[in-house]
Amino acid sequence: LLEATDTPYEHQGQACITIVNQEATTKSISIYLENTRVRHIEVLNITNSTHQLIGISGMEYPLVNWESLGSEIIFDIKIPPNTSETLRINAGSIFPYHSVVLIRDTERMLHLLTLQQSVAGLLIGFVLSLILYSLLIGLATKEKAYLLLFGSTFCVTLLQINDIGLLYLFWPSASYWNNISSGVFAITSTIFGIALARNYLITKGNSPRSDIWLRFLFWYTLVVALPLPLFQNDLVFFALYALPTTIITLPSLVIISIVRIRQGYPLAKLYLMALAAPVVAGMMIFLMYAGFIPSSQITRALPLIGTTVQLILFGFAIGKRINWLNKQKDQAVNAVLHAKAETEAKKNFLTHVSHELRTPLAGIIGLSEIARKNPIYKENKQLVEGILESAETLLSSVNMLLDYARVNSGKWKTSNTVFNVRLLLDDIAGNLEKQLAKKDITLNYQVEKNTPTMIEGEKNITEKILGCVLEYSINNMNKGHILLKVEPESYNNQYAIRFDIIDTGAGIAEDHKPEIFEIFEQPDKSTTRSQRGIGISLSLSKKLCLLLGGDINFESNPLHGTAFWCHIPCRPVADTDNPLLANTVTVQPTAPNSSAANNAMRGAILVAEDDETLQLVVASQLEKLEKAFRIYPNGKPLVEDYIKNHDTISAVLLDWNMPICNASAATLLIRDFEKKMKRPPIPIVIMTAHDKASTNELGLPHGIHVLHKPVTISDLEQLFISLQKP
């Protein structure tokens, strides 16, 4: 059908029109086609069987009439008076378009188009003002959602302005790039819309699958769809962008909104309402591009109206979202403050409970030790030893419970030191000597040759871990052997020491293995069980291993016993790595030398202790060591005594927790006095109910010695000997 082009368009159409001018003057007639997406339009005058080409227009050609009429396809024809003209309109396009042909007086047609474009211009101005407003709000508040809304609506508005033909006023080359620019604007708007959905619906972290799907749509649209307009192939554009956007992207946004609503995100309802406007606008644009509805001024204005509604609804929704996020942020801040206060309260509670439980137990143990030195001990040995053993057992259980609470609250501070591995094993064996002897259990340890003598790590926690596991093995054995094996081994690509604790006990039943590291779990829960302990040692050892970045596990056979192993990250230290160590001679622990202790520290010992029972215990111990001493209920009178009689004082012993003036305040006052008087610092010893593992939490100043309650005569003897050394 087409005569003015050789392009074989798949879809072609024809209309024949006869116009009769019955007036005595020449009539100017305009033929207007309400569809700007048609590729080729030609108008022929076929009056008297002649084929005279009147004009060509369409998307295939530069739209020269844009300078005056915009993107409309319009042809002007002059008909002489009292004559008729027969015209044929041939159309060709890639898609089957439905177009309406209007035939009117040129002047009336011009007035109609001018009116339509004026209304469209006012609507566009209003839309652009809203878009600019969203940009300014986004820049002022730094809210990403407003900026994404600006990007999406600005691009779709440019698309609609381009279709109407007004973009030429701002961009003269728009007439030549109409098809490409329209596609780029549409795709870019979709990209911003997907990003807006991810941001507003907060899918990241709250709906991972939805977020992954939106990210896929985003990158597909950006990488695959965005270059499509450059190929200027409508079929490819329709197949890879227009159709997927209509049947996949837009429904996906609706479905994800519903999912977020079901997840309890209330603002998704506002998003769903606001999404209706761009969905309708997108459907209108798609139907116009596909040719299902005419692309008239009216139908092309509907997407602009949809964009206006979208801006208003989304602006409202984003404002609500900002308020909601601020409220959530305030609640989160309050929750953090509450959690911090609760943690601090727990910490203070643990500190208080530690003091209130351990202090009287230390008194019981101290009094029992004094009773051992009393002549009546022989007659009441079983009674005294029973009291002492019960108190020590209770103290061990209290220590373990407090340790578990401390590590569970995340407040356990670690502090690496350099220590001797073999001496650590000696200390552990010495602490368990009574329990091993009572049950006829032998403990041997095997240190591999490649194990370094000195390592840098958390000594107190390492000792606690091994002590917990060994205590578990001892409590679950009546007799037998325990082997403690030590060797270096890589763990998670870092240096570590592997400790194996292998016992010949009854083993662990299969049904109990999965919960062996749970708190308060015991292999035998019956009322006739022979095992001792409160079922917390393995759980505590597990948590402490994880705290150090290591781990613990086990294998067990009811016929052959249980083998535990743990990895403790550390760093090997050679003697030459540390100047202090290189010049230090390691001394094996020996029995206290009473005469040496008596000869040491000839001056008076000042003691501050608020517990009357412990005052009695310390006084008795110092008397046994033949020391002159004075005891006070808190640090204030002690400091006054020291300031007055400092020349005759050899050492100061301070309880950590005391009323009026505690150890920290007393230490500060003493050191200030010494600094003012230019005196050498006197030895200050803190007596604390905290265990060794939690000493780091006290924040003691450098040079302060620590004794852990219960303090024995042996502890004091060793202390005085060490303080006497230069």
In the predicted model, what is the mean pLDDT of residues 237-260?
89
Contact 502, 563 (CB under 8 A): yes
Structure tokens at 181: 């620019």
Rounded Cα distance between 195 and 217, Å, is 10
pLDDT value of position 487: 93
Residue 152 burial (C-beta neighbours within 10 Å; 0-12, 13-18, 19+) = buried
Q: Is the pLDDT of residue 589 over 60?
A: no
Does 569 or 156 have the greater pLDDT score? 569
Give the CATH class of 594-724: alpha beta
pLDDT value of position 672: 93
Rounded Cα distance between 238 and 450, Å, is 72
Residue 677 burial (C-beta neighbours within 10 Å; 0-12, 13-18, 19+) = exposed
Per-residue DSSP letters for 47-101? GGG--EEEEEESTTS--TTHHHHTT-EEEEEEE-TTEEEEEEEEEEESS-----E
Give the CATH class of 414-582: alpha beta
Structure tokens at 386: 């029973």
Q: What's the pLDDT band for 433 if we cut at 50, 70, 90?
A: confident
Q: Is the pLDDT of residue 250 over 90?
A: no
Rounded Cα distance between 295 and 430, Å, is 95
Tokens 């003012």 belong to residue = 676
The CA–CA distances, whole Å, from 455 to 85, 335, 463, 492, 633 equal 108, 41, 13, 18, 42
Q: Is the pLDDT of residue 595 over 60?
A: no
Q: What's the pLDDT band for 630 if we cut at 50, 70, 90?
A: very high
pLDDT value of position 587: 33
pLDDT value of position 286: 65
User: Average per-residue pLDDT in the chain?
Assistant: 81
Does 251 or 374 have the greater pLDDT score? 251
Does a cis peptide bond (omega within 30 degrees of 0) precede residue 637? no
Rounded Cα distance between 535 and 526, Å, is 13
Q: What is the pLDDT of residues 289-345, one digit of tens each?
A: 555 666 666 666 677 777 777 778 877 887 787 788 778 788 878 888 887 777 667
Rounded Cα distance between 16 and 298, Å, is 26
Model's pTM, two decimal places?
A: 0.47
Determine the residue type at 167: L
Q: CB neighbours of 718 closer than 8 A, spacing ≥ 6?
A: 592
What are the domain boundaries of the chain? 11-106, 111-322, 414-582, 594-724
Nearest 5°: CA angle at 141, between 140 and 145? Answer: 115
Nearest 5°: CA angle at 383, between 380 and 389? Answer: 135
Q: Is the pLDDT of residue 612 over 90?
A: no
Segment of 238-242, 274-278, 345-349, 400-404 carrying the highest mean pLDDT: 238-242
Q: What's the pLDDT band for 527 if we cut at 50, 70, 90?
A: very low
Q: CB neighbours of 48 closer than 8 A, spacing ≥ 6?
A: none
b/e for 401-440, b at 16 or more Cβ within 10 A?
bbbbbbbeeeebeeeeebbbbbbbbebbeeebeebbeeee
Rounded Cα distance between 677 and 690, Å, is 33
CATH code for the structural domain at 11-106: 2.60.120
Rounded Cα distance between 2 and 11, Å, is 11
Q: What's the pLDDT band for 145 if we cut at 50, 70, 90?
A: confident
Q: Is the pLDDT of residue 529 over 50?
A: no
Backbone dihedral angles phi then psi of residue 414, each to the nearest 5 degrees = -105, 150
Residues belonging to the chain: 726
User: Angle of helix 421-431 relative to helix 459-475, nearest 10 degrees?
Assistant: 40
Rounded Cα distance between 586 and 593, Å, is 18
Rounded Cα distance between 297 and 701, Å, is 84
Contact 564, 500 (CB under 8 A): yes
Rounded Cα distance between 269 and 264, Å, is 10
Nearest one of 557, 469, 465 to 513, comparing CA atoms: 557
The CA–CA distances, whole Å, from 80 to 27, 48, 89, 106, 304 equal 7, 15, 20, 14, 41
Contact 498, 489 (CB under 8 A): yes
Tokens 């760093």 belong to residue = 571
Q: What is the pLDDT of residues 389-410, one digit of tens each?
A: 888 878 877 777 777 777 877 7
Nearest 5°: CA angle at 545, between 588 and 398? Answer: 75
Structure tokens at 22: 């019955």
Structure tokens at 67: 């300078």
Structure tokens at 44: 């022929």
Query: Which range (150-164, 244-258, 262-276, 442-456) has the least confidence?
Result: 150-164
In the predicted model, what is the mean pLDDT of residues 37-45?
84
In the predicted model, what is the mean pLDDT of residues 363-385?
81
